[in-house]
């Protein structure tokens, strides 16, 4: 009896302690989540607040003097809207082209009997570890007459070897027997890609589409280096210039950007507006991009 009671007590104490510990970890996670969210909430609050409060630096994470003026001004600015539409267009085109290129590169490499596969793999691996460098790339764009050409924002970045490896790992996971039985039925390799591999690979396509799309939507380095024509600036480069008061951008709201208080809400609204599309999309693809990242790490 004695022994049994003691044991029971111990168990009780232990489970209580575990419960307390669980809550500590919950608290820790709430804290971490807050650190992630507060900068965005602060930005959102500033974009929705009135100038008076902003001048007095009274806005933290809740808007004061709620109004949508800043968003109205941004939406009324044709330069900004044009850059938004241009970047959205670029993003869609780049994603489609990149996914196609990635599939075209990954699919033939899963065939064990493909002659020259070794050489191709070496060629591909070298490009992962050695890049010619900024200036040699720049000179190539010059030689190919791609400077100040909208194509320079699409073609040079249309295949990522890391993403190709992710797709290839996924293709490897599709049973060979499916492919082989289709071959026996007389299907061509191209038909097998279209009718078997692509439909079965929706998760990896979703994941890589997100990676490519986010890369294009967020990228600005290539535009900064290769594009001089302001009409071709992607959104992020325009925002960079707005944030740094580079006046050459000539956006209609330029005046507002130089007014204290208003400039803060305008800049916040501009940034918010350009981030919303991604923030709306990525949570829905969480399952897929987690699988994508994990697969990229699997060693062959």
Partner 1 sequence: MGKNTTVAVPKKKVNWKIYLKRYWQLYALIALPLIYLFIFRYMPMKNILIAFKEYKLNMKLGDMPWASNHGMKYFIKAFQTPDFIKALRNTLMLNLLDLIAGFPAPIIFALILNELCFKRFKKVVQTIAYMPHFLSWVIIYSLSLQLFAPNGGFISELIKASGHEAIPFLGEAKHWVATYVGMGVWQNFGWGSIIYLAAIAGINTELYEAASVDGAGRFKKMWHITLPGIKPTIVVLLIMNLGGIIGGGFERPFAMANPAVMNVAEVIATFVYKVGIKGLKFSLTTAVGLFQSVVGLFFLLTANWISRKLGERGIW
**Which residue's CB is nearer to partner 1, number 158 or number 251?**
158
**Cβ(231)–Cβ(249) under 8 Å?**
no
**Which residue's CB is nearer to partner 1, number 243 or number 252?**
243
98: its two tokens: 């990149």
**Cβ(167)–Cβ(103) under 8 Å?**
yes
Least spacing, CB of residue 74 vs partner 1, in Å: 14
**Cβ(106)–Cβ(186) under 8 Å?**
no
**Which residue's CB is nearer to partner 1, number 1 or number 62?**
62
**Which residue's CB is nearer to partner 1, number 1 or number 131?**
131
Query: CA torsion angle for 94, 170, 188, 105 (degrees, to 10)?
Result: 40
Least spacing, CB of residue 298 vs partner 1, in Å: 9
Instruction: Say how far apart CA 169 and CA 255 lie, in whole Å.
Output: 52
**Cβ(70)–Cβ(265) under 8 Å?**
yes
Least spacing, CB of residue 78 vs partner 1, in Å: 21
Q: Where do the DSSP E strands lie in 27-99?
A: none
Least spacing, CB of residue 92 vs partner 1, in Å: 17
Least spacing, CB of residue 79 vs partner 1, in Å: 17
**Which residue's CB is nearer to partner 1, number 30 or number 68?**
30
Query: CA torsion angle for 156, 157, 158, 163 (degrees, to 10)?
Result: 140
């Amino acid at each position: 009896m004695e022994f049994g009671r003691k044991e029971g007590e111990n168990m009780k104490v232990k489970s209580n302690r575990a419960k307390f510990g669980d809550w500590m970890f919950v608290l820790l996670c709430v804290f971490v989540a807050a650190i992630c969210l507060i900068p965005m909430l602060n930005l959102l609050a500033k974009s929705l607040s009135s100038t008076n409060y902003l001048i007095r630096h009274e806005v933290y994470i809740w808007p004061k003097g709620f109004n949508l003026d800043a968003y109205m001004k941004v939406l009324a600015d044709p330069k900004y809207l044009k850059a938004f539409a241009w970047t959205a267009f670029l993003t869609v085109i780049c994603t489609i082209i990149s996914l196609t290129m990635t599939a075209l590169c990954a699919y033939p490499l899963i065939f064990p009997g493909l002659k020259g596969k070794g050489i191709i793999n070496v060629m591909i691996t070298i490009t992962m570890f050695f890049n010619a460098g900024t200036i040699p790339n720049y000179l190539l764009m010059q030689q190919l007459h791609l400077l100040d050409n909208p194509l320079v924002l699409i073609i040079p970045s249309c295949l990522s070897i890391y993403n190709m490896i992710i797709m290839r790992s996924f293709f490897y996971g599709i049973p060979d027997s499916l492919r082989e039985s289709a071959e026996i039925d007389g299907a061509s390799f191209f038909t097998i890609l279209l009718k078997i591999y692509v439909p079965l690979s929706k998760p990896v396509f979703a994941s890589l589409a997100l990676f490519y799309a986010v890369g294009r939507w967020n990228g600005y380095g290539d535009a900064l280096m290769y594009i001089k024509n302001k009409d071709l600036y992607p959104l992020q480069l325009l925002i960079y210039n707005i944030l740094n008061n580079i006046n050459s951008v000539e956006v209609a709201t330029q005046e507002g950007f130089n007014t204290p208080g208003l400039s803060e809400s305008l800049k916040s609204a501009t940034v918010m507006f350009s981030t919303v599309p991604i923030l709306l999309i990525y949570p829905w693809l969480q399952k897929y991009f987690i699988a994508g990242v994990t697969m990229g790490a699997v060693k062959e």
